[in-house]
Amino acid sequence: MSDKSAITLTINGHDHKIEVEPRRTLADTIREDCGQTGTHIGCEHGICGTCTVIVDGEPVRSCLMFAVQAAGKKIRTVEGLATGDTLHVMQQAFMDNHGLQCGFCTPGFLMLAVGVLEREPNISDDDLLDVLSSNLCRCTGYQNIIKAVRAAAKAMRGK
């Protein structure tokens, strides 16, 4: 245990002034201290990717980052993807292609795919498969996820 530090986390454009222990993970902080429970925690050791968020443009496993490390950076979570009632093309593509069943891993896949495609819109299909192999899903068997991401990639490039 240790003393808490005062930090500001900027999540989806909103500032959250909070006090956290230095050891507190970004994932727990986003969920518990900032109340954004859309980011889920699946393993807490950086393998399943369920907790993926975008930090300064990079997909990051928020269970492997401390909240204090994310202070002053721009954090994006699943709650920030849609615009009003309009789903992000990635969300829409997941819906259209049955890219989810229970929905627990979904926020992580959405943020991973969006983060990668924003950075690298023309990513090759092989590289895309490689990237998406870094997150786990237990329900879908993945084929509908890759279909969804390919469809969204096309739409994002077309914009």
Partner 1 sequence: MTAPAKFVGRSVPRLEDRPLLLGQGRFVADISFPGQWHMRVVRSSVAYGKIKSIDATAALKLPGVHAVWTAADVAYIAPIPFRLTGLKTLEPYRQPVLARDTVRYVGEPVAVIFADEEYLAEDAAELVDVQIDPLRATLVCSYQPDFFDHVVSSEPGVVRKGYGDVDAAFRTAHAVVSLELSIGRHSGVPLETRGAIARYDQVRDILEMHGAAKVPHWNRDTLAQMFGRKRESVQLFEGHVGGGFGIRGELYPEDILVCAAALKFRKAIKWIEDRREHLIAANHSREQHHKIRAAIDSAGHILAIDDEFFHDNGAYMRTHAATVPDLTAAMLPGPYVVPVYRAVGHIRLTNKTPCGTYRAPGRYESSFVRERLLDAIAAKIGMDKIEIRRRNLIAKSAMPYALGLETLGTSIVYDSGDYSALLDKALALADWKNLQQQLLKRRAAGDKVGAGIAMFVEKSGLGPFDTVRVEIIPDGTVEVITGVASLGQGVETAIAQICADALGVNYNNIKVIHGQTDRIDKGMGTFASRVTVMCGEATRLAATKLRAELLEVAAGLMQSNADVLDIVGEQIVRRDFSSGPALTLAELAREHPAPLSAEATFESTHMVYPYGVHIVAVRVDADTGGVTIERYAIAYDIGKAVNPKLVEDQIAGGLAQGIGGALLEEFLYDGNGEPLSVTFADYLMPTLSEIPELSILVTEDAPSPLNPLGLKGAGEGGANPVGAAIASAIDDALGRPGAVTRLPVSPQRLKALMAQT
5-24 positions binding partner 1, by CB under 8 A = 21, 23-24
Beta-carbon-side half-sphere exposure of residue 158 (alpha carbons within 13 Å): 7
Q: Which is nearer to partner 1, 44 or 72 (CB)?
A: 44
- Structural element, H or E, at residue 27: helix 26-28
123-152 positions binding partner 1, by CB under 8 A = 129-130, 132-146
- Longest alpha-carbon distance in the chain: 50
Which of 4, 15, 37, 119 binds partner 1 (CB under 8 A)? It is: 37
Which of 26, 100, 113, 153 binds partner 1 (CB under 8 A)? It is: 100
CA distance 73 to 58: 11
Under the binding rule (CB under 8 A), the answer on residue 44 touching partner 1 is yes
Under the binding rule (CB under 8 A), the answer on residue 156 touching partner 1 is no
> Please, which contacts does 149-153 make with residues 24 or more away whose CB atoms are closer than 8 Å?
149/90, 149/93, 149/99, 149/109, 149/113, 149/117, 150/125, 151/93, 151/96, 151/97, 152/89, 152/90, 152/92, 152/93, 152/94, 152/113, 152/117, 153/113, 153/117, 153/121, 153/123, 153/128
In the bound complex, what is the minimum distance in angstroms from residue 31's beta carbon to partner 1?
7
Under the binding rule (CB under 8 A), the answer on residue 95 touching partner 1 is yes
Which of 101, 123, 150, 155 binds partner 1 (CB under 8 A)? It is: 101
Under the binding rule (CB under 8 A), the answer on residue 52 touching partner 1 is no
Residues found near partner 1 in the complex (CB under 8 A): 1, 21, 23-24, 28, 31, 36-45, 47-48, 50, 77-79, 81-82, 87, 91, 94-96, 98, 100-107, 110, 129-130, 132-146
